[in-house]
Amino acid sequence: MADNDFAGAGDRFAADVPSGGGRGATSAPWESATPQGQQPTGFSSERRPRLAGVSAGTVVVALLAGLVGGAAGFGGSLLLGTSGSSGSPVLNQHDFTVGTQVSSQSGTVQFAAEKASKSTVDIAVSSRSGSAEGTGVVLTADGYVLTNNHVVSSGGDISVTLPDGKKSAGEVVGTAPSYDLAVIKLAGVDGLTAAELGKSSNLAVGQTAVAIGSPLGLEGTVTSGIVSALDRTVEVSSDDGQAVVYNGIQTDASINPGNSGGPLVNLDGQVIGINSSIQSNTSGESSAGNIGLGFSIPIDTASRVAGEIIESGAAMKPQLGVTGTDGESGNAVISTVSAGSAAEKAGLRQGDTILEVDGKAVSAFSDLIAQIGSSEPGGKVVLTVGDAQGGNAHPVEVTLGSIRDSEPETTTQRPGAQSPYQWPGGQFPYGR
């Protein structure tokens, strides 16, 4: 798979970019549907993509679901040197004498890896455009598997390798482009070990996190690190230019192309996130792998989305009903309010500045997208709203709308803005 900076793949996202081509003005997934024939208004961010560490806290990354070319083989054998004609090894090895070093215990990386690996599968997708490899999390004993949308979005044939090495064909049940999530169903399987899902709402920065997946086709690879940050606004875009914004978990556990769709787990072996993207250094047509900046979709969101897809074949997402831009000093400024939308019903108007969502600061329009996207469809949020200059702040309760997730949320970039990544042929990774 081509490493795009999706965790599991390596692609980059912005929000509400139509999946089929034109990258002009885009519409936000929680914006009211655009009448047929009209150009969608979308979220206009009027700003440059930002990297981790900037004031807005927005990270522009690439999807990880990796497109994998032909594997390079090599010959030869590994030999154990012997001394003289006796055949005795030159080096003698001994088992550890402390039992805890060779047997897993709850609360260790080894325990988490052993437990979660039983519910982790390798996903290979073959299509006319090439091959892709990612990872998946087993949700049910009869073969429902959660992965990234960008792993299976090519529409090719899906082959899944189970933890015991057996293979099964997979079929896409439904997708949620705004969250980069998809559910597939395996054929002819039963008795699989379903993953134990944890709570991402209970996470703390600094706690140990373990990632499992198939980076570069190396099935069953386990890496560990920590939860580096929470509520990170992540903008990523896939190889086909489709873009998404989501609220992610940041980790330094090593994840690379092929890890996409795999689990990020805690030391109890519970899934706390679905690995989706990485920040990587790029130069020309090459891009570096993991540099300690990986991002996962919180399991609280992923489990809701997966449950809806399993039940009905589609997932819902919240709808606010505005377009907007970044404010001059940060925050999100409303450009338009859709008629009949949740925003209009709550009294929001053009020119209003959104300062916070449920007490969390909004430092850019992409932050608003990410925070609304992590809310419950049809649920209530409290926005802190100011005037055009950000003054006269006051709370506004909004009951969000709910619409089917058929295309991702996105922001459009300012014409002429430079991407922090160099893409083949100088292509701009976001639509203009």
d(CA 369, CA 247): 9
Catalytic residue among 154, 237, 238, 260: 260
- At residue 149, the 3 state secondary structure works out as helix
CA distance between the termini of the chain = 26
Q: What is the DSSP string of 204-228?
A: -TT-EEEEEE-GGG-TTEEEEEEEE
Could you tell me where the beta strands, DSSP code E, fall in 358-409?
A: 360-361, 380-386, 394-399, 401-404
On whether the CB atoms of residues 319 and 401 are closer than 8 A, the answer is yes
Task: Collect all residues with Cβ–Cβ distance below 8 Å to 299 and sequence separation of at least 6.
Answer: 197, 198, 199, 200, 271, 272, 273, 274
Q: Is 180 a catalytic residue?
A: yes
Catalytic residue among 150, 153, 239, 366: 150
Task: Collect all residues with Cβ–Cβ distance below 8 Å to 425 and sequence separation of at least 6.
Answer: none
Pairing state of beta strands 411-412 and 43-44? parallel
Task: Collect all residues with Cβ–Cβ distance below 8 Å to 70 and sequence separation of at least 6.
Answer: none
Catalytic residue among 16, 180, 367, 405: 180
d(CA 419, CA 4): 14
On whether the CB atoms of residues 181 and 146 are closer than 8 A, the answer is yes
d(CA 279, CA 285): 16
Amino acid letter at 66?
G
C-alpha torsion sign, points 429, 418, 6, 356: negative
Stated as kind and residue range, the H or E segment containing 307 is helix 299-312
Residue 371: Cβ within 10 Å count: 22
Structure tokens at 376: 């419950």
Q: Report how far apart, in Å, the C-alpha atoms of 228 and of each of 152, 179, 207, 248, 381 are.
A: 28, 21, 8, 11, 26
List the catalytic residues.
150, 180, 260
